[in-house]
A and B are shown apart, each in its own frame.
Chain A
Amino acid sequence: MLLLPQLVIVTVFFLWPAAEAVQSSFYLEDPFGFGATFVGFDNFVDTVTSTDYGRVARFTAVFTFFVTFLSLGIALLLAVKADKVLRGGSSYKTLLMWVYAVAPPVAGLIGVMLFDQHVGPIVEFFALFGWQMQIGVDYFDTSFAMTVTAVWKQVPVNFIFFLSGLQGISKSVQEAASIDCRSSFRRFWTVTFPLLAPTGFFLLIINITYAFFDTFGIVDIIVKQEPGNNPVTLVYKVFLDGFRGNDLGGSSAQSVILMVLVFILTVVQFRLIERRVHYT
């Protein structure tokens, strides 16, 4: 009985939509809702073979790679330093983590302002080196702005996890290491880094999921509803095809592909968590 509220919500808002998505991915539906034809795997074939989808998928992969790599790298560096400094550690911590609470579209809006053609200081800065940035017009420049904004938004989460991971490493291990090895750089790579690896793996999954799904707001604001020639992510394409293009079958097929992807990521994540138990 106590489970009832959650089960009802889950069924109505999760399982039903998911089932619907799977079902309509096999149908070719009329945009005005007059009936649907069963087309088997045609939607999937159409989706995967279309050049547009390939382009978006490639962009998503590159974007995910850079966002994950950069935000993890920056966060790790900052966390190691914040763990090490004797004075002001906690103020650095606060100053570095609060961006977590900024909503992705708001981050996107600020990004748009900073990269604005007329008023943006970043554009002016790069113009000094002869790089004329045109956000919303030039494919590469827009991707660049999107990546920077997404990284900015994601660093705090990684920072918090790395820092709590670092603080979990026992003092005796660190002391033993510092007796054995004088170079703090080597000490980091041979002792601290392996001990942080489980946290790192876990964050890797979190970051990939972030770059795939949570960047929707950033992408939506930066491309200004004009996806035309601009880089968009796979999730954004699901939204576009479903709500703008009225291609229900194609959009559902893309949803199903993403569901499978999330499923794989989750399985990997659970595998890693099991492994993690052995580490510690």
Chain B
Amino acid sequence: MRKVQILDHVILLLGVFFMVTPVALAFMTSTHDAITIYKEGIQFLPGDKFLENYETVLFRAGGFTKEVDGFVMLMNSMILGFGFAIGKIIISMIAAYAIVYFRFPMATFCFWIIFATLLLPLEVRILPSYEIVQSLGLVNTYTGLIVPLIASATGTFFFRQFFMSVPDELLEAARIDGAGPWKFFKDILVPLSQTMIAAIFIIMFVYGWNQYLWPTLITTEESLFTLVRGIKQIMQVWVGAQIPALNEAMALAILAIVPPVLIVVIFQSWFVKGLVESDK
């Protein structure tokens, strides 16, 4: 029994090693100066340039892109993450509310239209989507960045599922007490779905933060770059440079990793719940 337990731990530790090491190495590398790394390879121990490198990356405009610093990109990532998560929750809650509680003509038809979006991941229709956003004049705006991402049906399904599990007696009780549809939604459904909202918020925030393809197409102006979008610029500088600024590249990568990881780790139980429920 003892022996088996040890073997289990060894396997788990190997797994942890496999998952953690790459990011740990990236972090270690981000605390050295570029020349050391170029001469000696990736660093396995922390260096003494931590503050210096991160300050450069955050506040020195032009470190990579000549116009924008890491702090602006961080803010843009925040705007995208929060804007996407909040927008999506509001829109999909309202839509799910309508689908579940109101009888109206074409309800099933509307449902199927929304449903169809599940069949069309962004990657499949990039080119036409881009053309449409362009013709609407939304290239290089936050609207053009966020709104097209919001539309997919995952959130709507999630809330629909949840609303259907709310007992009808609650609706009847509310009606007897004289609550209108809006009051029912605001005072009963929203408080009931609090944990659901939190769970889906985390998933959506991470999803929004990590968007890459869409921001790459829509934002060509550097003041709108997100961190993840900025990676592409890092690569280009890297390919061209004499002594690649690996330390700064890794510092930016770490910056892009930390916020979503923190959210996932801190709200772990909600996150797991959201992930397991929403994908079903």
**Interface residues, chain A, CB within 8 Å of chain B?**
1-3, 5-7, 9-18, 20-21, 24, 74, 77-78, 81-82, 84-86, 88, 92, 94-114, 116, 118-121, 124, 152, 155-157, 160-161, 164, 184, 202, 206, 209, 213, 216-217, 220-221, 224-225, 235, 238-239, 242-243, 248, 251-252, 255, 258-259, 262-263, 266, 273
A152 touches B18 (CB 8 A): yes
B235 touches A221 (CB 8 A): yes
Q: How far is the CB of B51 from chain A (nearest CB, A)?
A: 21
Q: How far is the CB of A227 from chain B (nearest CB, A)?
A: 14
A84 touches B8 (CB 8 A): yes
B148 touches A13 (CB 8 A): yes
**B212 contacts which chain A residues (CB < 8 A)?**
103-105, 216-217, 220
B128 touches A164 (CB 8 A): no
B124 touches A273 (CB 8 A): no
**A78 contacts which chain B residues (CB < 8 A)?**
11-12, 15
Give the residue among B11, B95, B127, B250 with the most A Cβ atoms within 10 A: B127
Which residue on A lies nearest to B11, using beta carbons? Answer: A81
Known: A103-B209, A224-B239. A251 touches B127 (CB 8 A): yes
Size of the chain B interface, CB-CB below 8 angstroms: 85
**A77 contacts which chain B residues (CB < 8 A)?**
11, 15
A10 to B5, alpha carbons, bound, how many Å? 52
**B241 contacts which chain A residues (CB < 8 A)?**
none
Q: How far is the CB of A219 from chain B (nearest CB, A)?
A: 11
Judged by a CB distance under 8 angstroms, whether B279 is at the interface is yes
B235 touches A109 (CB 8 A): yes
**A114 contacts which chain B residues (CB < 8 A)?**
22, 25, 42
Judged by a CB distance under 8 angstroms, whether B3 is at the interface is no
Q: Which residues of chain B from 93 to 112 have any CB-CB distance to chain A below 8 Å in the complex?
A: 94-95, 97-99, 102, 110
A18 touches B128 (CB 8 A): yes
Q: How far is the CB of B167 from chain A (nearest CB, A)?
A: 21
**B25 contacts which chain A residues (CB < 8 A)?**
110, 113-114, 121
Known: A2-B94, A3-B95, A78-B15. A216 touches B123 (CB 8 A): yes
Q: List 27 A-B contacts (CB under 8 A).
A: A3-B110, A10-B153, A11-B113, A14-B117, A14-B125, A14-B151, A21-B124, A21-B128, A78-B12, A92-B12, A96-B16, A98-B264, A101-B263, A101-B264, A103-B209, A103-B210, A105-B228, A110-B22, A113-B246, A113-B250, A114-B42, A152-B19, A161-B279, A238-B127, A239-B123, A242-B126, A252-B128
Known: A15-B113, A95-B19, A262-B120. A224 touches B126 (CB 8 A): no
**B132 contacts which chain A residues (CB < 8 A)?**
12-13, 16-17, 20
A96 to B17, alpha carbons, bound, how many Å? 9
Which residue on B lies nearest to A82, using beta carbons? Answer: B12
Known: A2-B95, A13-B147, A95-B16. A259 touches B120 (CB 8 A): yes
Known: A102-B23, A121-B41. A17 touches B125 (CB 8 A): yes
A37 to B212, alpha carbons, bound, how many Å? 33
Residue in A17, A255, A273 whose beta carbon sits within 8 Å of that of B280 in the complex: A273
Q: How far is the CB of A110 from chain B (nearest CB, A)?
A: 5
B126 touches A14 (CB 8 A): no
A156 touches B19 (CB 8 A): yes
**B15 contacts which chain A residues (CB < 8 A)?**
74, 77-78, 81, 92, 96, 155
A155 touches B128 (CB 8 A): no
B42 touches A262 (CB 8 A): no
Q: How far is the CB of A200 from chain B (nearest CB, A)?
A: 14
Which residue on A lies nearest to B7, using beta carbons? Answer: A81
B235 touches A224 (CB 8 A): yes
Q: Which of these binds chain A: B60-68, B170-178, B189-197, B254-262? A: B254-262
Chain B window 211-228, contacts with chain A (Cβ cutoff 8 Å), 1 for yes, 0 for no: 011000100000000001
B127 touches A120 (CB 8 A): no
Known: A16-B132, A21-B125, A98-B265. A110 touches B41 (CB 8 A): no
Chain B window 264-277, contacts with chain A (Cβ cutoff 8 Å), 1 for yes, 0 for no: 11001000100110
